[in-house]
Amino acid sequence: MTMPLDAGTRPILERSYLRIRGAGLVSSPANTLTTGVVALLIAWAGWTFLRWAILDAAWNGGPEACRIHAGACWPFISTNARLMFFGVYPQGLLWRPALSLVLMGSVVVASMIPRFWSWRLALAWVTAPTAVCLLLSGAFTAAPVSTNEWGGLPLTLLVWMIAFAGAFVIAVPLALARRSKLGGLRTAAIVTIELVRAVPMLVALYVSRFIVPMTAPAFEINLFVSVEAALTLFVASYLAEILRAGLQSLPTGQTEAAQALGLSYARTMQLVLLPQALRAVIPALVNLGIGVLLSTPLVAVIGMTDFLSAVREAASHEQEWPGCYTIAYLVAGSVFFAICFVASRYSRWLERRLRVAGHR
């Protein structure tokens, strides 16, 4: 079909690359037909998107401009960016959620770099969410902001970060208890893990928000606390299983060598087994992280204004902005996609790097 004219003079490497990449595309009439149809579909989808997003799009003006143009309504995004990304956080104090994003983003990025893997990183995962909570609530300042006004992307990231950091604190003892020789301890760990894993996240959120407070009517439990309690426990049960798998993947010789040197159980875990187990389960950790991040929009059902619900809120001015749901969700989707795509590429890169470095 696309036989190059100068096939004989092309560099060999490039030709073999083409052959591998193009293997089976035109090897039989049926394959050629399929290739053609799929290529047409891709071209059509691409063209439609291009027309919608750029050629027919409204670029400036107000809602009227969007009524005239059939394509994307970019002014909606620029007008509503604040609502979409930061929810109803007081307008004059937007530097707080913005700074929070930067702070949390830096800690997450630092966590991805092997050179920074040490106990200081664990400290950063405690300090950053704490600092963000103080920052957002405006503690010790003249302008406190109630948690009900927190929202948008910083809130999503904060909820995720606290759940993950908290989950580690619970998951390590859970995983160790599950491997314990003490039968009672092991059973308790298994029951806890299996019970929590048997419950859908939505149910965990409902229980935490509506059932638990009934047992202590005297206290008013903050929505933020309810969400974190449910999410943390939920993530911890999955994390414990991942850690257990990591510990089990290590040869028994590692434990024996540490014991033979006179290291105690706690030191053996801390210095020898856990660091290796964590390296072994990084892909699973990244997977869990992505999964939890993509599940955070569920917190909206118990009334929290996470990123996605802030976007939905912003787009609910349907009368004013025609067809703005499409573009609003597209932007929200792109943000989630960008984060998850980077995370999954990172995970593959890291696996390769650790293999090369001989860390096993």
Partner 1 sequence: MTQPRKPPAVEFAGVHKWYGAFHVLSDIHLHIETGERIVVCGPSGSGKSTLIRCVNRLEEHHRGALRVNGVELSGAEAQIDRVRREVGMVFQQFNLFPHLTVLQNCTLAPIWASATNRREAEARAFALLEKVRIADQAHKYPGALSGGQQQRVAIARALCMNPKIMLFDEPTSALDPEMVKEVLDTMVALAEDGMTMIVVTHEMGFARRVADRVVFMDHGEIVEIAPPEPFFSAPRQERTRQFLSQLLH
Q: Does 182 bind partner 1 (CB under 8 A)?
A: no
Choice from 15, 267, 345, 353 touching partner 1 (CB under 8 A):
267
Q: Does 260 bind partner 1 (CB under 8 A)?
A: yes
| CB proximity list for 271: less than 8 A, separation 6 or greater | 258, 263
170 vs 250, beta carbon nearer partner 1: 250
What burial class does residue 260 get, using C-beta atoms within 10 Å of its C-beta: 0-12 exposed, 13-18 middle, 19+ buried? exposed
Would you give the binding string for partner 1 spanning residues 237-256, x where CB under 8 A is met? --------------x-xx-x
Identify the CA nearest to 153 among candidates 94, 72, 93, 112: 94
Q: Does 264 bind partner 1 (CB under 8 A)?
A: yes
Residues 274-313 that bind partner 1 (CB under 8 A): 275-276, 279
**Which phi and psi (to 5°) does residue 182 adopt?**
-80, 115
| CB proximity list for 307: less than 8 A, separation 6 or greater | 84, 85, 152, 153, 155, 156, 296, 297, 332, 335
- CB contact at 8 A, 77 and 327: yes
- Site of tokens 């490497």: 13
78 vs 264, beta carbon nearer partner 1: 264
At closest approach, how far in Å is the CB of 264 from partner 1?
Answer: 6
Number of neighbouring beta carbons within 10 Å of residue 124: 19
Residues 340-359 that bind partner 1 (CB under 8 A): 357-359
Residue span binding partner 1 (CB under 8 A) among the ranges 28-36, 144-152, 224-232, 272-280: 272-280
Choice from 45, 102, 257, 342 touching partner 1 (CB under 8 A):
257
65 vs 278, beta carbon nearer partner 1: 278
Q: How far is CA 131 from CA 67, 136, 139, 162, 169, in A?
A: 44, 9, 10, 12, 19
Q: Which amino acid is at 87?
A: G
- Report DSSP state, residue 219: S
Q: Does 212 bind partner 1 (CB under 8 A)?
A: no
143 vs 266, beta carbon nearer partner 1: 266
156 vs 268, beta carbon nearer partner 1: 268
Q: Does 68 bind partner 1 (CB under 8 A)?
A: no
Binding residues for partner 1, rule: CB under 8 A, are 251, 253-254, 256-264, 267, 271-272, 275-276, 279, 357-360
